[in-house]
Amino acid sequence: MRFPKTLSGLATFLLAGGLAASSVIAQEPVPVSIAVYPPNAQINTIRDRQSIVVQATYADGITRDVTKAATFAFANPAFVKFENHTMYPVADGKTELKVDFGGKSVVVPVEVAQATADRTISFKLDVMPVFMKAGCNTGSCHGAARGKDGFRLSLFGFDPDGDHYRLTREIPGRRINLALPAESLMVEKSTGVVPHTGGKRYEPNSELNQTLIRWLEAGAPNDQGEVPKVLAVELYPPNAVLDGEGSTQQITVRAKYSDGTDRDVTSLAFFMTNNDTSAAVSQQGLVTAGKRGEAFLMARYETHTVGSHFITLPKGFQYNAPQLPENNYVDHLVNEKLKRLRINPSELCTDEEFVRRAFLDIVGVLPTVEEYTKFMSNADPKKRDALVDELLGRKEFVEMWVMKWAELLQIRTNQQITTKPMLRYYEWLQERVAKNMPMDQMVRELLSAKGGTFANAATNYYQIERDTLKTSENVAQVFMGMRIQCAQCHNHPFDRWTMDDYYSFAAFFSQIGRKQGEDPREIIIFNAGGGEVAHPVGGRQMKPKLLGGAVPDVAGKDRREVMATWLASKENPYFAKNLANIVWSHFFGQGIIDQVDDVRVSNPPSNAELLDELGKKFTEYNYDFKKLVRDICTSRIYQLSTKTNETNALDDRNFSHATLRRIRSEVLLDCITLTTQTKDKFGGLPLGSRAVQIADGNTSTYFLTTFGRATRDSVCSCEVKMEPNLSQALHLLNGDTVNSKLQQGGLIDLRLKEGKTPPQIIEEMYLRTLTRKPTEKELAALNGVLVNEKDPKPVLEDVFWSLLNSREFVFNH
Amino acid sequence: MEMRPSRRDFLHVGFCGGIGLTLADYFALKAKADIKKYESKEGTAKSVIFIYLPGGAAHQETWDPKPYAPIEYRGPMNSIQTNVSGVFLNEMLPKTAQIANKLTICRSMTHGEAAHERGTHNMFTGYRPSPALQFPSMGSVVSHEFGPRKNLPPYVCIPGQPNEFAGTGYLSSSFAPFSLGSDPAAGGFTVRDLKLPGGVDDTRFTRRRTILDTVNDHFTKKEKSDSLDAVDTFYQRAYGLVSSVDAREAFNIDAEPSPIRDAYGRNTAGQRMLMARRLVESGVRFVTLTYGGWDMHDNINGSIRSQVPAFDQAYSQLITDLDGRGLLKDTLVCIASEFGRTPKINATAGRDHWPKVFSVVFAGGGMKPGIVYGSSNSTASEPEEDALNVEDWATTLYHCLGINADKELMAPGDRPIEICDGGKVRKELLA
C-alpha cells in the first residue's frame, strides 16, 4: 500500500466542513514506533509458513499497515524463503528477521525445523478447518440440525468423528471416491463442477480444495489416537486506528497447539466484524476502513474466537485532547478511551440534576423539598461526595439492591415454592445485603446451600430451578454473565464454549439430592453423592470442569461447594467483573458489556480497561459493592450532563455524556406515591410499603406490569422492560394511579388551606416531582391559566397532574 | 405521528463521534440515498388479522390430512370433504369446510427451524433468527410504513404481545403493538384507561393538555433521545384514542349484539376473533391474536378434539362475518404456526416438531379464494409441489398490504436491512 496521497483525502475534508486545510500532510510522516506481528516465528515442516504484518504507529495515534513499504533482512538468509511477506522453510536453523521502516527497526526471532519433512494429513487438524472456512458447517448449510439436501455436518465442527463417518461411510461411495479423489462428490459440489445448492465455495486449485484432495489421496483417514489440541489462537495486530475511508490493515492469525507447535492459519480462519460500516473484513483477513466508528474484528478458528479492536477516524482528523479534571480511576479510564476516539466528554451536570439523579439511582426515591433545599444551599465543594455517602447509608439503598438481587435469584412463588419458603428466601437475601456481607461470601453460601428450604432458605435457589442443565445455565448467566445455552446442542457459534465445557460444568449440579421435610411445604436439599452428566454425542461421562478453568478434584466432596468456592473467588476471571458490570449498568442504563448477561468474545466490552479495573477494585474491596457504588457515583463521568457537544453527540457506548433513562416501574410508582403523599397496598405487605419492597415476583399491579416489572420467570436481564408503550401513556393520562392519588393525597387542598399562594404551591409541586423550580416562562404560562379561573384548586391539581405526566418526571436525566 | 425518520436512523452501533453534525448528517444522508426505497401504498389488503397458533399446529390434523397414508402417518383422526371438490380437512373442521371456497390453503410451507422460539421468529418477522440483529415483526413494519388510521393504534395484539418476536426489533419502540391487556373472552372485559377519569370533562382535559405541553416544553427542547420521542408518540396516540369516540368504541366488545357474540362462540377463540373484526372494521391495520396451545407431543387425538371445535366455529364465523360486511376483500386473514408436526405418530400418541413442511392459510385481502396452493408428499413429510419458504410467504403478505418487501429500513449502525430478504411474490396466490 502506498501512503494515501493528500488529494484522495481532500473530498472527505471538504465534507467535514470547516476543518483546517492546513492539516493536510505534506510529506510522509515519521512513525513513533513500529510493531511486527507475530513477534516471533516458528516454522515446522514444509507445510508450514508464517506471514508477517508490520504496523506503524504515529504521534497522533493513527496506525498504518506498512508491510509493503518496510524493508526486510534476515541475519542468515539460508533458512527461509521470503515471498509476499511470508516466510517459507528452506533449511533447519535459527536466525533473525530485521524489519526497518521510517527509521525504526524491529527484530523478529525465526526458527525453522524439519524444513524438508512433510507432515501427515490430519482429518481434525487439516480437513475440519476447511468446512468452517468454506462455510459448509454453518447452521444455514450442512450444519443445520438435519443437514441440508441430505448431507449433514456437525455445526461448526463440534463432532469431527461424526463428520468423518458421514463423509466416508454414510451412503457408501456417494461422497468420496478414493480411486479418483478429484471426482469425489464432495469435491465436485464444493468447486461448482456439479450443481450445488450452496454454490461454488472455492476454486479447484485453492488451498482448501487441495487439502481435501490430499486427504482423499491418503485414503480419507480419520486420526488415530489423540491429536494436538488448539490451545490458543492469536490475532494480529491487537488493535488499530485507521486513517479514513479506504485505509486497510492486513490481519494475521496464528494457532498454537498443545504439542508446542504453531501454524499460520490466516487462510483458514473465518473472519467477522461487528460493524462492517466502520471496518469491513475480507475472508483473506484484509480490513478496510469505512465510516468513522469502532469495530471489533474477529477470527474464528476451531472452537476459538479471538478479536481485535479497530477504530476508524475521518482522514487526517485533527484533535487536541483537552485537559480534563479526574476524580478517580473511572474518569481516567473513560477519558483515555474518549481520547482514542477523539471525543470530548460533556460538562458536569447541575446540582439540581445531580441531586435528582443520585436519589433516584442510589435510593430509588425523589429528594424531598427539605433534602433538595439542604443540598442546594450547601456551599461545600465536596457536597456531591457527601450526598453519595449519606445516601449509601440509607435503608432504601439496601432495598434497591435486594430487589435487583431478587430478580437475579428469581425470588417468586411457583409450584415448588409456597409463600413461606419464598419469604424466608427473601429474608435470607435481605439480611445479607443489609449487613453488607461480601458478595463472594453470599454467593458461596447460596450456591453450596444445604438443608431445609425453611431452615436454610438459600436452598430455595435449587427449588426455583430443579433441572440440572438449566441450573448450570442460570449460574453461568447470573454470576459470570454468560449465556452458554447454545453449547447444550452444539459448540457455541459466537464464543469459546464447546459442548464439553457445557456438560462438564453441568456435572457440578448433577448430585443435588432433594427429599421431603417434616413440614409438607419444606424440601431438604442435600448432597446425594452420586449422579453424572453424560455427553449427548458418544455418551461420555463428563468430569466436572470449571468454565474456562481447571478440572478440580471432587472425589468425596460436595461438587457444588467446590464449584462455589471457585466461582466466587478471584481465581474466576469473570465473577468480579460481571458483578461490577451489573452495578455499573444500574447507574448508566447500559453495561460496559451490554447486555450485562451476554458476555462473549464477540460482544466485547466498550471499555475493557475500565471493566478490568472495576473488577480489580471490587476484588480489592473484598467484594464490598457499596465501595464500588461510591467510586462510580463520585466519578465525574457519572455526574456528566445529558447535554452533548459536537464531538460526543452520536456516542452512545462510551459514557461521554449522561443518557436519559426511563425510571423503572417500581421506582416510578414509589415516586408517584411519595410525591402525592399517598400509600400503596401490595399483597403480603403492610399499607404504605414501597413497590421496591415487594418480595414475590408473582405479586404485581397493573401499573407495575405495564411499566415492565420483572416477573422473575427467568434470570435474563431482559425481564425488566424499559420500553415505552401506549398502555403506559393511557394509564398515566386516564388511569387510576395518577388521578386517584391526586385525590387521595389531597395535597393541593391542604396547601390552599394552609394559606399558600398558587405560585408557592406550583413551586412546591415542581420541586416534589422534577426537583427544580419552575422557570420564569413556565410560571408566566401557568399564571396565565390561573387568572381566568375563580377556583385555583382544579387548575393547581391539573398542574400537579401534568407534572406527573411530564417527560421530565418519568425520565432520570 | 408522521413518517419522519426516527432518530435511531441516525445513530450508530458502538460509536460514531461527530466532527460536528455536518459529517454525521452527510453519512446518514448518503446511507439513506443508497438504500432501496419504495413508497408503501395501501394494497389489496387494507388490514391484516394474523391468527397465530402457538406451539406448532399439526398440519395433518388440520389443513393437510392424509387419508390414504398408512395409519402411523395418517393418525387416528378422519377427514371430511369441503365445499371445494377434492379438498379434505380434518374432521373437527366441519364449519370451516363449508367456507373452504373462500380460503387459500398453502400446504407446502417449509423452513428449517425446529425449535419453538426460532420457528416463531421466522413466522413473526419473515427472517431467520440472527445473533446480531433483532428483526421487527410484520405488525411493527406495517406500523412503521403506514402509521395509525382513524386515531387507532396501527398494530394491536389480542390479548397481549404473544412473544418477544412480535415486537419492534431494531425499529424504534414507537412501532410497538398495543396490547389489550386482558382477554375479550373474560367476563367484565374492558380495555383500560381509554376513557377520561371521573371529574375530567373534555374542557378540563384540554386544559390539562395545555399545561402538560407547557411543562414538557422545557425538557423536550433540552433533551434528545429515542425513548423520549417514543413517549411523545404514544402520548399523541393516546390523545387521538381518548378524543375519538369511534376509536374508543372499537375496543368495546359489549357493543356487539349478543347473537353475534354467541355465533363466534363465548370462548377465547370466538371473542378474540370477534374483537379482531371490530378493530379492523374501525381502522386498525394489523391485529395479531393467538389461540390455544398446539405443542401436541402426547395424545394428539384428544387435544385436537378439545381445541379445534371452538376454533372451527370462530374462524368460519369470522370469515363469513367479514364477507357479509363487505370487509373480506380488504382484510387479509392469515393463519400461521411456528411449524408442523412429525409425519409419524410418536410413542405417546402425539407428534413432535416438524418444520420441513406444514400448512398456512390465507383468506381475503386479494388472495385467490378456493384454492390449495402447493402440496406435501404422501406422508406429509416434505413439500412436493411449490414449496413455500418463509421469505416468499412474508413477501407475498407484504405485497398484499402494499409494501414492497425489498425496501430497506435503517437498522442501528446505519445498516440498511430489507424488510424481507430475497423473497418473491407468489403470484399464483393472488386473485
Domain boundaries, chain A: 6-117+228-313, 123-217, 351-393, 438-553, 575-659, 746-813
Which residues 6+ apart lie within 8 Å of A312 measured at CB? Answer: A241, A242, A244, A245, A247, A278, A279, A289, A290, A291, A292, A293, A294, A295
Burial A5-40 (b: 16+ CB within 10 A, else e): eeeebeebbeebeebeeeeeeeeeeebeebbbbbee
E strands, A464-579, where? 512-516, 523-527
- Of the partner residues A660, A723, A730, the one whose CB lies closest to the CB of residue B194: A730
Identify the closest residue of chain A to B164 by CA–CA distance: A718
A717 touching chain B per CB within 8 A? no
Q: Return the C-alpha torsion angle A585, A591, A597, A598, nearest 10.
A: 170
Of A77, A122, A322, A296, nearest in space to A225 by CA: A122
Q: Which three cell numbers stand for residue A652?
A: 452512545
pLDDT of A274 strictly over 80: yes
A727 with B178: Cβ contact below 8 A = yes
> Nearest CA of chain B to the CA of A143: how many Å?
11
What is the value of ipTM here, to two decimals? 0.84
End-to-end CA distance of chain A: 48
For residue B2, tell me if it sits in a domain: no
CA distance B354 to B356: 6
For residue B244, tell me if it sits in a domain: yes
A343 touching chain B per CB within 8 A? yes
Of B261, B389, B367, nearest in space to B44 by CA: B367
Q: Which of B219, B234, B250 is the last residue of a domain?
A: B250
A653 with B22: Cβ contact below 8 A = no
For residue A516, what are the β-bridge partners? A523
> Nearest CA of chain B to the CA of A236: how many Å?
22
pLDDT in tens, A505-546: 999 999 999 999 999 889 999 999 999 999 988 899 999 999
Residues B307 and B221 in one domain: no
For B245, the domain range is: 192-250
Residue A22: pLDDT band with limits 50, 70, 90? very low
In contact, A669 and A702? CB cutoff 8 Å: no
In contact, B289 and B268? CB cutoff 8 Å: no
End-to-end CA distance of chain B: 33
Q: Angle, to 10 degrees, between the axis of helix A575-588 and the axis of helix A608-620?
A: 110
pLDDT of A489 strictly over 80: no
> Nearest CA of chain A to the CA of B385: how many Å?
16
For residue B1, tell me if it sits in a domain: no
pLDDT of A754 strictly over 70: yes
B225 with A660: Cβ contact below 8 A = yes
Q: Mean pLDDT of all residues in chain A?
A: 92
Q: Which three cell numbers stand for residue A516?
A: 421431603
B224 contact residues in A (CB cutoff 8 A):
644
- Of the partner residues A606, A723, A806, the one whose CB lies closest to the CB of residue B173: A723
Hey, of A276, A291, A716, A804, which one would you mutate to test binding to chain B, going by the most B CBs within 10 A of its CB?
A291
- Of the partner residues B15, B178, B231, the one whose CB lies closest to the CB of residue A724: B231
Specify the residue for cell string 418480595: A695
Of B142, B224, B170, B128, nearest in space to B415 by CA: B170
For residue B179, what are the β-bridge partners? B157
Tens-level pLDDT at each residue, chain B (431 residues):
334 434 333 333 333 333 333 333 434 444 444 678 899 999 999 999 999 999 999 999 999 999 999 999 999 999 999 999 999 999 999 999 999 999 999 999 999 888 898 999 999 999 988 766 789 999 999 999 999 999 999 999 999 999 999 999 989 888 999 999 899 999 999 999 999 998 899 999 999 999 999 999 999 999 988 889 999 999 999 999 999 999 999 999 999 999 999 999 999 999 999 999 999 999 999 999 999 999 999 999 999 999 999 999 999 999 999 999 999 999 999 999 999 999 999 989 999 989 999 999 999 999 999 999 999 999 999 999 999 999 999 999 999 999 999 999 988 766 788 999 989 999 999 99
In contact, A697 and A411? CB cutoff 8 Å: yes
β-pairing, A811-812 with A93-101? unpaired
Q: How many CA atoms lie within 13 A of B309 on its CB side?
A: 7
In contact, B419 and B397? CB cutoff 8 Å: no
- Of the partner residues A342, A494, A810, the one whose CB lies closest to the CB of residue B17: A342
> Nearest CA of chain A to the CA of B398: how many Å?
24
B17 with A647: Cβ contact below 8 A = yes
If one counts every other C-beta atom within 10 angstroms of the C-beta of residue A101, the result is: 21
Query: For the residues A433-457, what does the mean pLDDT come to?
Result: 96
Residue A488: pLDDT band with limits 50, 70, 90? confident
pLDDT in tens, A338-369: 999 999 999 999 999 999 999 999 999 999 99
In contact, B324 and B374? CB cutoff 8 Å: no
pLDDT in tens, A603-634: 899 999 999 999 999 999 999 999 999 999 99
Q: Which of B250, B277, B298 is the last residue of a domain?
A: B250
A778 with B218: Cβ contact below 8 A = yes
Q: Which three cell numbers stand for residue A533?
A: 452428566
β-pairing, B388-389 with B103-110? parallel
- HEC-encoded secondary structure of A284-296: CCEEEECCCEEEE
3-state class (DSSP) for residue A479: helix
In contact, B154 and A697? CB cutoff 8 Å: no
Residue A167: pLDDT band with limits 50, 70, 90? very high
A729 with B235: Cβ contact below 8 A = yes
A649 contact residues in B (CB cutoff 8 A):
17-18, 21, 24
Per-residue pLDDT, A199 = 86
> Nearest CA of chain A to the CA of B274: how many Å?
21
pLDDT of A710 strictly over 50: yes
B26 with A642: Cβ contact below 8 A = no
A646 contact residues in B (CB cutoff 8 A):
18-21
Per-residue pLDDT, A369 = 97
Identify the closest residue of chain A to B128 by CA–CA distance: A140
Hey, of A297, A488, A722, A806, which one would you mutate to test binding to chain B, going by the most B CBs within 10 A of its CB?
A806
A314 contact residues in B (CB cutoff 8 A):
19, 23
Of B331, B2, B282, B49, nearest in space to B151 by CA: B282
Q: Which three cell numbers stand for residue A186?
A: 464432495
CA distance A168 to A221: 9
3-state class (DSSP) for residue A149: coil
A235 backbone dihedrals φ, ψ, rounded to 5° = -120, 125
Single-letter code of the amino acid located at A803: L
Identify the closest residue of chain A to B176 by CA–CA distance: A725
Count of domains in chain B?
2
A–B CB contacts, 8 A cutoff, strictly below: 226
CA distance A493 to A155: 8
Residues 96-155 of A with CB under 8 A from B: 140, 144-146
> Nearest CA of chain B to the CA of A231: how many Å?
26
B215 with A802: Cβ contact below 8 A = yes
Burial of B149 (0-12, 13-18, 19+ CB in 10 A): middle
For residue B209, tell me if it sits in a domain: yes
- Of the partner residues B22, B173, B195, the one whose CB lies closest to the CB of residue A724: B173
β-pairing, B331-336 with B358-363? antiparallel
B353 contact residues in A (CB cutoff 8 A):
none
> Nearest CA of chain B to the CA of A243: how many Å?
14
Q: Does domain A6-117+228-313 have CATH number 2.60.40.1380?
A: yes
Q: Which of B250, B267, B298 is the last residue of a domain?
A: B250
